[in-house]
Structure formats: structure tokens, C-alpha cells
Amino acid sequence: MAAQVIDGKTIAKQIRDEVKQTVEHWRREQFVPGLAVVLVGDDPASATYVRNKEKACQEAGIYSEVHRLDASISEDELLRLVHTLNQRPDIHGILVQLPLPEHIRSERILDAVDPSKDVDGFHPVNAGKLLVGKPGIFPCTPLGVIELLKRQDVPIAGRHAVVVGRSNIVGKPAALLLLREHATVSVCHSRTPDLSAITRQADILVCAVGQPELIRGEMIKPGACVIDVGINRKPDGKLVGDVCFSEAVHVAGQITPVPGGVGPMTIAMLLKNTLACAQLQRSSV
Ligand code: NDP
């Protein structure tokens, strides 16, 4: 039997509607959440991501402003902008779109963002909170993975979750969030010698690798829930995930498609994180 295909678009729309309702409620109390996005240079993919984030904020009623800066901006000038945004009471979330130009040390910029305004959840303070199990602001894509599982009623506690990929943006936080939900977690990466021996044990398989269709049908445990984070463009222009969907759909119990799975969840969770940051600052005044 073919797997149930998890509709990330519909779930993301539900979340965006919930965010919109909260914002309407807050606006009636004269409180408007605000997000500042910083875009440096003219990378077309980054420009598209930023436009989508701006549009999503508008639809949800969140105030947003985009700082479009020339690629030649110095690290110190960029830091000054981040410090200014940190101080502004009308801005509750700050997002610095990556990648930054080579002459700018991304780490220095991301570390300068006030952790309570860190909508991307990349600041070491928030990463540390995730590690030690404290509440904090956590990265949007892994949060989207957990939200998809929960809203699909996929049980997590006590199950074996395998995460392929160990980046700071997706793999590691996904593993920690699954651990927080009481899964037994394995993390695989490029040095894992026999990848399929591990992936075949997964009740929940999260793939965040960036290699088109690396995970074949025979690498999946029958009935497993497969969450494909990968977004890869093939030479023919087709968008595919890290999982070979046409094979996996006959083995898995549930599976996310690419596009239309995890992708739409990332922006939905960014909106949720903006509200979480706004709430943090609201309750601290
Ligand atoms: P990174 O390149 O930062 O990390 C990739 C990870 O995959 C690394 O840990 C690497 O291991 C591991 N890896 C690479 N090759 C293999 C292999 N053959 N077997 C096992 N592990 C391997 O990527 P990201 O985490 O940033 O992104 C991963 C994918 O998710 C990309 O396709 C990206 O486009 C997509 N993405 C999607 C988002 C969404 O909104 N849906 C958001 C963010 C990313 P090692 O550490 O050993 O090098």
C-alpha cells in the first residue's frame, strides 16, 4: 500500500491562520509584533526567500521591514545595524538572511543578535537552551519537522528516530528536539560507514543532507514515517528531496513530498517564532 503523503502546505496554512488570529487579538490590545529582515547583497535565492517572508508577515498582520544592503557593507556597519535593531522596542524579531558575503564573518553577526529577538534560533544562547532542555527560540525548519509529526499524530516518545545530517541549522537541532520529545535518537552524517543499516532501524526518518534522492526505498523500514527536509535542484531543473520519493512511497507509512512538505513549514514556524519573541519581550516589560 502506498504511504500517506503528509500535506505540509495545508498544515502550514493552519499554523499561519492561528498566528493571524493571535496577531488580530494583540492588535486589538494595541500591540503589534514586528520583524526586521536583513538582506545583504543580491543573491537571487535569498531575495526570493526574503520576499516570501515579507509576504507571509503581511498576510499574518505582523509588521515587517527589510533592510536591503549593498554587498560591499562592512562587518562593523552591519553590526551597528544589528545593535540598533536590538534596541528598537517595535522590533521583536531579527532575521539575518544567510549566506552573507565572504568578507563578513556570519558568526560574529549572528552572535550579536539579542537572543530574545533571535527568530532563527541560531544564537549560541538559544542552542544551549535547546541542549539543556530549557525553553528558548529554536530553528524554524526542525521545529517545523516536530510540528508536522505532532499534527499528523505520529507518536514520537519511545520510538527510534534517525536523523541523517548534523548541521547546526537542521540536523543537530532536529535530533535535540526529537530527544526532547522522548524519541531514541541516532544521528548519521558523511562519516557513517553503513548508512542504510541505521536508516532501516528508523520508525521516524528525518533526512537533511542536500544530496538528491540519496535515501532509496530499500533503506527505509516498512511503515516508517519519512520526513524529507532536502531541497535539491536536478540538472533538468526538477526539485527533489534527499529521499527517492517514487521508491519510498511504496515502503514508508507516511512521507513528506518535496516540494510541499517541510518547505512551507519553515516560514510558518518563522511567524510562530516571531510571536514567541514578541511574547518574551512583552512579558519582560
Ligand atoms: P549542510 O550541508 O549544512 O549539512 C548536510 C549534512 O549532511 C552534513 O551533516 C553532512 O555530513 C551530511 N551528509 C552529506 N553527505 C552525506 C551522505 N552521503 N551520507 C550521510 N550524511 C551526509 O546542509 P543543511 O543541513 O543546511 O541542509 C540540508 C538540506 O536541507 C539541503 O538540501 C537544504 O537545501 C535543505 N534545507 C531545507 C530547508 C527547508 O525549509 N525545507 C531549510 C534548510 C535546509 P558532515 O557533517 O559529515 O559533512
pLDDT in tens, 213-258: 999 999 999 999 999 999 999 999 999 999 999 999 999 999 999 9
Over the stretch 125-167, which tens digit does the pLDDT of each residue have? 999 999 999 999 999 999 999 999 999 999 999 999 999 999 9
**Pairing assessment for the beta strands 232-233 and 239-240 based on DSSP bridges:** antiparallel
> What pLDDT score was predicted for residue 278?
98
> What pLDDT score was predicted for residue 202?
99
**Cis previous bond, 99, omega within 30:** yes
In order of 33, 120, 172, 180, the CA distances from 116 in angstroms are 13, 11, 21, 21
187 backbone dihedrals φ, ψ, rounded to 5°: -120, 125
User: pLDDT-based confidence at 1, cuts 50/70/90?
Assistant: confident
Active site residues: 53, 97, 120
Over the stretch 63-102, which tens digit does the pLDDT of each residue have? 999 999 999 999 999 999 999 999 999 999 999 999 999 9
> What pLDDT score was predicted for residue 285?
67
Angle, CA of 128, 129 and 132, to the nearest 5°: 85
In the reported structure, the alpha carbon of residue 190 is separated from the centroid of ligand 1 by a whole-number distance in angstroms of: 10
Taking CA atoms only, the protein residue closest to ligand 1 atom 39 is: 263
User: pLDDT-based confidence at 269, cuts 50/70/90?
Assistant: very high
- The stretch 40-55 carries a mean pLDDT of 95
- pLDDT exceeds 90 at position 50: yes
Ligand 1-lining residues (CB < 6 angstroms): 141, 164-167, 169-171, 188-192, 195, 208-211, 214, 229-232, 262-263, 266
Question: What's the CA gap between 258 and 66, in Å, rounded?
Answer: 28
